[in-house]
Structure 1
Amino acid sequence: MKALCLYFQVHQPLRLRRYRFFDIGNDHYYYDDYTNESIMRNIADECYLPANKIMLEMIKKQKGKFKISFSITGIALDQFEQYAPDVIASFQELAKTGSVEFLAETYSHSLAALTNQDEFVEQVKSHSDRIENLFGMRPTVFRNTELIYSDEIGEMVAKMGYKAILTEGAKHILGWKSPNYLYCNAINPKLKILMRNYKLSDDISFRFSSEGWKEWPLTTGKLVGWLNDMDPKEDLVNIFMDYETFGEHQKKESGIFEFLAHLPADVISKSKFEFATPAELAENYQPIAQAHVPNVISWADEERDLSAWLGNKLQNEAFSKLYALRDDVLAVNDDRINKDWKFLQASDHFYYMCTKFFSDGDVHSYFNPYSSPYDAFINYMNVLSDFQIRLKELKDGIAVNPEELKSQLVEKEKLISKYERELKDLKNQFSQAE
């Protein structure tokens, strides 16, 4: 039999409030509680709860033949606990079935793997501890933020004891090879690699309700037909997507929940596939080759790289300033500081600063609560400036000079003006090229 692996990412960013320059040093609370609670409660009711109900019904109906996997970020779990505890309870019901696997990842949905191994390891351990505490199982498979992966990141994950990792089946990595096999890490072959079939995954998560798509409407019968038409030598298919696909990105009216409810029975009765979790794939299949990934990849945008988070100078400036504070955070070891440190690392903050507009600008603007990437940068750097002041005062007992703050503001304004001019020039060049 061939295997079909369904994996879902569950994450909601913790949004910062509008934090102005004059708040620096005066107000140390950074979060937009009203917006965070409203969005979380809405998505819980439109996505997580109805989708989990269907999953539970299908698992029971199929008597263990239907299996799924989730990675739930620590930041999402924190918000569930505060705003939607019924969502945690619904995931716990799924866990009791024995047909659901929970994966490990960074607690903060962070980019720590790219800059600080110690921070990365600490976050992964913290996340696995939380998953074990809530759901009674310790993860054995890892999924990095946004499927970010390289040979070196895989080696770090292998050293932590995980037996498999999920990543993108990027064309520029696979070449002529197919994502529909098991691979292994090029440095430590003990680590198995599951690669996302991005075509089938995106057919559901992005194109399902697109009436202009030539395959619309997508039915379970059509998907099963595509699976049955695959090369008979291929072992498995990994369909990885945001869980918010169900009811949030693809609204209830599109028929997405009906699609989900019919999928297990149709796959089981009409295809050559059986459902399997990532851990089962790592256990039951052998890698056909090493996957050589010298440069970092992700599942984002057409480029499948890091440009959504670290593709411009604004993002890199904020990223470097943040992680330069880690030693002071550890030295201070204050509960409130540690909590803010955790939330400020979320990759979403850097995503909001993205200036890409060629192929994926609409996608980036859809998820962005700011009017521009420059607003996102200013807001985040204001928060980071206050965070730095608190660190300095706790560590050294020295208040920051107000003139130093004014100097920081002037430098930020100069930097932003420079990048705005560069972006305007690029837009003009793009318009002329058209």
Structure 2
Amino acid sequence: MKTICLYFEIHQVVHLKRYRFFDIGTDHYYYDDFENERSVSDIAERSYMPALNTLLQMIRDNGNAFKVAFSLSGVGIEQLEMHAPQVLEKLQELNNTGCVEFLAEPYSHGLASLANEESFKLEVKRQAQKIKEYFGQTPKVLRNSSLIYSDDIGLLASQMGFKAMLTEGAKHVLGWKSPHYIYNCALAPKLKLLLRDIKLSDDISLRFNNSEWEGYPLFADTYMDEIAALPDEEQVIGIFMNLSALGIDQPLSSNILEFLKAFPACAKQRGMTFSTPSEICMKLKSISSLDVPDTLSWMDEERDVSTWLGNPMQREAFNKLYSVADRVRIARDPRINQDWDYLQASDNFRFMSTKPSRVGMDRGIYDGAFDAFTNYMNILGDFLNRVNSLYPADIDNEELNGLLTTIRNQGEEIEMKEKEVIRLQGKVDKLESEEDKLRLQVEKEVIGKAAPKNPSHNTPAKRTVKKKKKD
């Protein structure tokens, strides 16, 4: 029986402000708050809320017959917390249905998996904690930024305890193989791989509203007929896209949500189901390993990382940023860490791209790739100065790590002693309270012994009565 794995990514670009060379050293705030608030509010109104309301109604109308998966970058969650908390509330409402799975991904939606393993692991861990806080789920499946994957990244994910990863069903990797099976990592056989069907996903996210496309207009029954026509043994159909495809890339006026609403009924008529990534991994076994020695992604025709690292400007910015990855991780300065998350986001490097792309790109304030590079490098220059000013630059990472470990150990020891002092003080207070109670009890006993044994036999009233009887 065929099953459809429907997955949506939620991530928000953190827009950088215009930052001049002469701002370096004087201005340490890098963000366009007005544009961030405007863009998040706009996408929430035009895409996220209508799309999530539709998905919620689909679940209510179809019960366990319809299921969906999401992942949210930590940076995206932060932007929604500030500017569109109703989106997070709606996601929690969806989570309460029991038909939604949330996946892990890097906190920054960055490229740490290509540069620094420790930073990548820390980011994924932080994002997973955020998902746990909001939705009570501990992610079992990992989705790297833009589905970036290689054998080495798969091995790292397996070592982190994940059961599966999502990635692209790229033709240059699959060859004659189909993306409609479960595969496993070549270096970690226990890690299962769920692949994105490029055509079926892009028919919705890229081509749905294109009147010049040969498949236009696309109807739900036609779409499901195409899936049903696949060979019987091809059981897993991965349809992965950004949630913003519903309302932004494909406007609501195109009836994209009405198209989506018809999915459950059309699938049921053809004997197909919907499943979350974890359910698929539990039910189905891998048919073979998938060799991916070179990194792939879901971006552009090449399906590689050239979108972010394809020209010298991008590589220079990338190398300079990650040259301080260890120092940032070691230092653990809250303000530095937040800027580190935002500067890592892959969007910053994509804005520097000079390659033609089949997907339209809005560079925002930038006139072009070089303008994006110049602005980013000015900001990065100030950021690097701040990182290096935390501790003397002549201290290497290993020595710095040793010093900070000693400081943290001392801090932890002081904290433990403070807790012990509080515990002992509580014990003293308890003993003093018991002492006060005992003193009061002793005083009562002493007073009781000093009083007459039968005072009622000799009261004035008694004596008066006796005298009257004698009279």
TM-score, normalised by the number of residues in structure 1: 0.89
The one-letter amino acid of 1:379's match is N
Displacement, 1:394? 2.4
Indicate conservation of the 8 Å contact 2:192/2:286, yes or no.
yes
Q: CA deviation at 1:397?
A: 9.5
Query: How does 1:351-366 map onto structure 2 within 5 Å?
Result: 351-357=350-356, 360=357, 363-366=359-362
| Residues 25-424 of structure 1: pairs in structure 2 closer than 5 A | 25-268=25-268, 270-357=269-356, 360=357, 363-366=359-362, 369-396=365-392
Report the alpha carbon displacement of residue 266 of structure 1 after superposing the two structures with TM.
Answer: 1.7
* Deviations, residues 27-77 of structure 1 (Å, cap 9, x unaligned): 100000100100100000111111111111110110111000001111110
Q: What amino acid is the match of 2:38?
A: S
2:133 partner amino acid: N
The Cα offsets for residues 112-159 of structure 1, whole Å up to 9 and x where unpaired, read as 011110001000000000000001111000000000000110000000
Identity %: 47
The offset of 1:364, in angstroms, is 5.0
Contact 2:116 2:325 in 1 (8 A): no
Q: Deviations over 1:89-130 (max 9, x none)?
A: 000001111100000000000110111100010000000000
Runs of 4+ displaced beyond 4 Å:
none
Answer whether contact 1:151 1:294 (CA < 8 A) is retained: yes
Verify the 8 A CA contact 1:147 1:166 in the aligned structure 2. Answer: yes
1:426 corresponds in structure 2 to none
The farther-off stretch of 303-312 and 257-266 is 257-266
Q: SS state of the match for residue 165, structure 1?
A: strand
For 1:277 and 1:180, locate their aligned partners in 2 and report how far apart those are by CA, in whole Å: 15
Over residues 250-270 of structure 1, what are the superposed CA-to-partner deviations in whole Å (9 max), with x where a residue is unaligned?
0011111111122222212x2
* Per-residue deviation, residues 193-219 of structure 1 (Å, max 9, x unmatched): 001000000000001001111111011
Please say if residues 352 and 373 of structure 1, whose CA atoms lie closer than 8 Å, have aligned partners that are also in contact: yes
Per the TM alignment, residue 393 of structure 1 is displaced from its structure 2 partner at its CA by 2.4
Corresponding residue SS for 1:365: coil
State the aligned residue count: 394
Structure 2: distance between partners of 1:392 and 1:196 = 42
With over 3 angstroms needed to count, the CA separation of the structure-2 counterparts of 1:17 and 1:265, relative to structure 1, is: same
2-structure distance, mates of 1:331, 1:116: 13
Quote the residue 2:398 is aligned against.
none
- CA change 1:217–1:69 in 2 (3 A) is same
Q: Which moved more, 1:224-233 or 1:132-141?
A: 224-233
Paired residue secondary structure (2:391): helix
Task: Render the CA deviation track for 1:370-423: whole Å, top value 9, x for unaligned.
Answer: 21110110111000111112223222399xxxxxxxxxxxxxxxxxxxxxxxxx
Amino acid at match of 1:244: S
Deviations 1:264-284 (A, max 9, x none): 22212x223100000011110
Give the C-alpha shift of residue 343 in structure 1. 1.0
CA distance 1:33–1:59, change in 2 (3 Å): same
In 1, Cα distance between equivalents of 2:209 and 2:364:
22
User: Could you tell me how far apart the structure 2 residues matched to 1:397 and 1:114 are?
Assistant: 25
Paired letter, 2:165: I
SS in structure 2 opposite 1:62? helix
SS at match of 2:63: coil
Deviation at 1:232, TM superposition (A): 1.4
- Contact persistence 1:113–1:120 (CA under 8 A): yes
Q: Give the Cα separation in 2 of the matches to 1:368 and 1:169.
A: 31
TM-score normalised by L of structure 2: 0.82
Look up the SS of the partner of 1:64 in the other structure. helix
Distance in 1, matches of 2:212 and 2:221, equals 20
Deviation at 1:175, TM superposition (A): 0.5
Alignment check: 8 A CA contact 1:169 1:197 kept: yes
How far off its partner does 1:369 sit?
4.5
Distance 1:2 1:330 in 2: 44
Name the aligned partner's letter for residue 382 of structure 1. Answer: N
Q: 1:397 to 1:291 in 2, by over 3 A?
A: closer
On the 8 A contact 2:8/2:71 being kept in 1, the answer is yes
When residues 235 and 376 of structure 1 are mapped into structure 2, their CA distance, relative to the original with a 3 A threshold, is same
Cα contact 1:51–1:257 (8 A) shared by 2: yes
Query: Secondary structure, in 3 states, of the residue corresponding to 1:63?
Result: helix
1:403 equivalent in structure 2: none
Structure with higher Rg: it is 2
Please name the residue that 1:419 is paired with. none
Per the TM alignment, residue 327 of structure 1 is displaced from its structure 2 partner at its CA by 2.9
Letter in 2 for 1:224: M
Return the letter of the residue paired with 1:67: K
Which stretches in structure 1 are left out of the alignment for 5+ residues?
A: 399-434
Contact 1:227-1:271 within 8 A present in 2 as well: no
- Compute the displacement of 1:367 (Å): 5.3
RMSD of the TM alignment (CA)? 1.3
Name stretches of at least 5 consecutive residues in structure 2 with no aligned partner: 395-471
Q: 1:301: Cα distance to partner?
A: 0.4
The verdict on how the C-alpha distance between 1:397 and 1:282 changes in structure 2, with shifts beyond 3 A counting, is closer
Letter matched to residue 124 of structure 2? V
The residue matched to 2:381 in structure 1 has which SS?
helix
Letter in 2 for 1:301: D
